[in-house]
A and B are shown apart, each in its own frame.
Chain A
Amino acid sequence: MIANLGNFSLWLALFFAALQFGVSYRKNNKSTLYLNKISVYSLLLFTLLSFLSLMYCYIVSDFSVSNVYLNSHTTKPLVYKISAVWGNHEGSMLLWILVLSIFNYFIFKLYNKNNIILITKTLETQAFVTIGFLLFTVLTSNPFEKIIPTPTNGLGFNPVLQDPALAIHPPLLYIGYVGFSAAFSFSISAMSVGNIEKVPWYNYMKPFVLAAWTFLTIGIAFGSIWAYYELGWGGWWFWDPVENASFMPWLLGTALVHSLVTVEKKKVLQKWVLLLAILAFLLSVIGTFLVRSGILTSVHTFALDPTRGIYILIFIAILGGYSLLIFAKNSKKFFDKNYISFMSREGSILVNNILMIVVCASVFLGTIYPLIIEALSNNKISVGEPYYNSTVIPIIIPAILIMGIVPLISWQKTSLITILKKTFPSIMLTFAITVTILWIYRSQSVLGFIGIILSGWIISNIVFTLFEQSKIKYGKNKFIKNSVPKFTKSMILAHIGVALLILGITGSSVWQKEKITRMKINDETIIHNYKVIFKEIKEVVGKNYVAIQGNFWIYNEKNNIITKLKPENRFYPITNNSTSEASIHTNILRDLYIVLGNGNEQDGWIVRVYYNPLVVWIWIGAFVIFLGGIFSINSNLKIVKRLSL
């Protein structure tokens, strides 16, 4: 019953999306606005209704719905019944559409008397995108399909996916991907209406780009947290195709956020921004397509149905073909009014933009290279960590060095000597930070050295500029105010977040220690100054699993007990598979990470112990970036509001 309602709502949503698409700009603004209002609100209402219906089916375990039968089970905790809604291909498409119509609503909210043509055209494009995904869902991946006869219980779902970080990871990521659809629509709209209205399209685009980028950041972080805590491999990033699929739009988003600022301030790089906005969204969809269609195998491969792949591919071809054609035809109208000097803030942002694109291109190449090789020669190869480390790191290093300086350079042309003078104190501070940290970790690794310098460099530059700023704010001499660049709270937060992120990445990848050993009860092992004693092993029973749980006592150098770690080996009888739950002790300097492997009383158990320095700073860093993003969305929305006056 409820499932039928959900299905019906989905069709109604399709109808209203089509209506919204039909209401393109007419001379009569009033009717356009009115019809758009009806379609935007109805679209939102019916997608929400459809989504909630599916959620209801999951909550009450309605196994007459095939999707619920395949992905849920009565013994599953409620939270994971709910998150199972988007833990499968069909349900996640529904979530994708819901997020699309939420963004659609926010675009609609931007209407004011000056921008009617721009927003109408944007809504039209947005409606087209929504129709594409709605058709895809109802025709090839309908989540409300029935199964006859009704099974008595579901097939459960992957216990590895029963994790709080993973429950919120997809929604956050989708806000990111779908947010770029708004940037895409604005870009197409700006190019097709040209500069008729003289409205600052970039100001309207910016909050959406920021939202997409901010949520993509935190979404990727949650995925990473899940991999770290749940997979039990001791790492948090594996260059899996699906990770790359989210990382690539993130890189383009980073470039886009920054180049939008230069468009806003200096009216340069307009074409570039228009193109980036298109590419960021196309890459989001292509990435999803690659991992979903089964072209690339990964942990996220849901569906191996080629008709779906062909449908999505045709849709991408239309989206990409249309948008890039408009770009080729119309973007020349957006000529830059100023020249760019390399020694200026806009110049440095451009350089960094290019570096981001290069990183993105090499990640893209690494991801699809196996496919291209296969298409050409029928050989299977795989591209792994060594490739990414040797292509991404060397490009990221100069990008971060520049990132440290950019805030200090003013928008106009600056001389090299001024820059050197300004950065001298921060060079000193960076040096001090680097020496201190290297002394703590006693490392001679070159990469560790570089990582710390980069991180220290960003922080020192921010510290000194803040210092300069406060001197002016509270000092007497107000005349030199303009020579010190203004910092926004959001920029400071985001950049500090990146510094912390680099610190965490460096620590955990360069100084990680790993020990794999077989241990019996009362055996002990040493990892980096810590003594690990295997005290006991026992059985524990969870809601839908049974587990054996080890108890490890950890002592420090002075033989004081620090913590007791209890990694588990869980067995889920419903799906007959087992997972290992790592047990982790975290402080600001390091993580101790224990995974219990297979074994028995006589021979002992295989135990993997990791010493992971500074991991927690990766999550803190990502969260600080997220905060910066949120502040920035807020302040940019204020700017947009002012435009309507």
Chain B
Amino acid sequence: MKRKILILPIILFFTLLIVFFYLLVIDRNPSELPSVLINKEVPSFQAKSLMTKKTFISEKEFNGEIILVNFFATWCAPCLQEHQYLKKLSNQRGLKIIGINYKDDPTTALAWLKKLGNPYADVIADKKGHIGIDWGVYGLPETFIIDSKGVIKYRLIGPITKKTYKAFYSKVMEIENL
């Protein structure tokens, strides 16, 4: 009896490792946080568009098609990495992406887009970060998937990368086909 107890530590240890291993190999993003906005309508906002210099009114824009909302800034390094995948989504897949330029300088942002190419259907300036607060953004970049009824369906914290691109796109498809 007493000797058997001595095997207990190693059994517990490996049980635990199996759990960790499972969590590591399953396709999971630990920074994927449930957003309180999921399945709610897009928070309404009005702000100046960087492209058209007109006022962008959110109520008018979000309906009829699936739209991605991407929070980005020129000072954010991961946004730069993400940029090519956004271009892929808009050019190859024909998705409409609205960029929200978070706490950034409009002229730098326009120059940045000119240099790298513009994947956005429209870019809205959020100089003070108020829109970001309404959307619960806490780190850049963040991307939201909005369905054709103007309801937020998914939130991705962090960049779309080579690795997550496929999963992200299939998420978009899944929402489109609902």
Contacts and interface: CB of A to CB of B under 8 A. Distances in A.
Contact of B30 (A275, A294, A321): A294
Contacts, number: 74
Contact of A325 (B10, B25, B31, B103): B10
A372 B19 contact: yes
- Report the interface size class on chain B: 20 to 34
A297 B30 contact: yes
A293 B75 CA distance: 26
Given A313-B17, A316-B17, A375-B22, A380 B6 contact: no
Contacts of A279: 9
Given A282-B13, A324-B10, A375 B31 contact: no
Nearest to A576: B75
Interface string B17-45: 10111111110101101100000000000
B75 A327 contact: no
B1 interface: no
Q: How large is the interface on A (under 10, 10 to 19, 20 to 34, 35 or more residues)?
A: 35 or more
Interface string A545-582: 00000000000000000000000000000011000000
Contact of B34 (A324, A332, A372, A380): A380
Contact of B23 (A295, A297, A301, A321): A295
Contact of A296 (B19, B30, B34, B77): B30
Contact of B6 (A282, A289, A297, A327): A327
A317 B19 contact: no
B172 interface: no
Given A155-B77, A332-B3, A380-B34, A375 B19 contact: yes
Given A324-B10, A332-B3, A576-B73, A313 B20 contact: yes
Interface in B57-83: 73, 75-77
A527 interface: no
A306 B21 CA distance: 10
A328 B6 contact: yes
A382 to B, nearest CB: 10
A371 B19 contact: yes
A523 interface: no
Contacts of B10: 320-321, 324-325, 327-328
A575 B9 contact: no
A246 interface: no
B130 to A, nearest CB: 11
Nearest to B77: A155
Instruction: Summarize B's interface: helix, strand, loop or mixed.
Output: helix
Given A295-B30, A380-B33, A576-B103, A320 B6 contact: no
Contacts of B33: 380
B17 A328 contact: no
Given A328-B6, A332-B6, A576-B73, A321 B24 contact: no
A289 B20 CA distance: 10
A72 interface: no
Contacts of A372: 19
A375 B23 CA distance: 6
Contacts of B9: 275, 278-279, 324, 327-328
B165 to A, nearest CB: 15
Contacts of B73: 576
A76 to B, nearest CB: 17
29 contacts: A271-B6, A275-B9, A278-B9, A290-B20, A294-B30, A295-B23, A295-B30, A296-B30, A301-B30, A304-B30, A306-B24, A310-B24, A310-B25, A313-B21, A317-B14, A320-B17, A321-B10, A321-B13, A324-B9, A324-B10, A325-B10, A328-B7, A328-B9, A332-B6, A371-B19, A375-B22, A576-B75, A576-B76, A576-B103
Going nearest first, the 4 A-B pairs with the smallest beta carbon separation are A324-B10, A576-B75, A328-B7, A328-B6
Interface of A: 155, 271, 275, 278-279, 282, 289-290, 293-297, 301, 304, 306, 309-310, 313, 316-317, 320-321, 324-325, 327-328, 331-332, 368, 371-372, 374-375, 380, 575-576
Given A295-B24, A306-B24, A316-B17, 8 more contacts: A278-B9, A289-B20, A296-B30, A313-B17, A317-B14, A320-B17, A372-B19, A575-B75
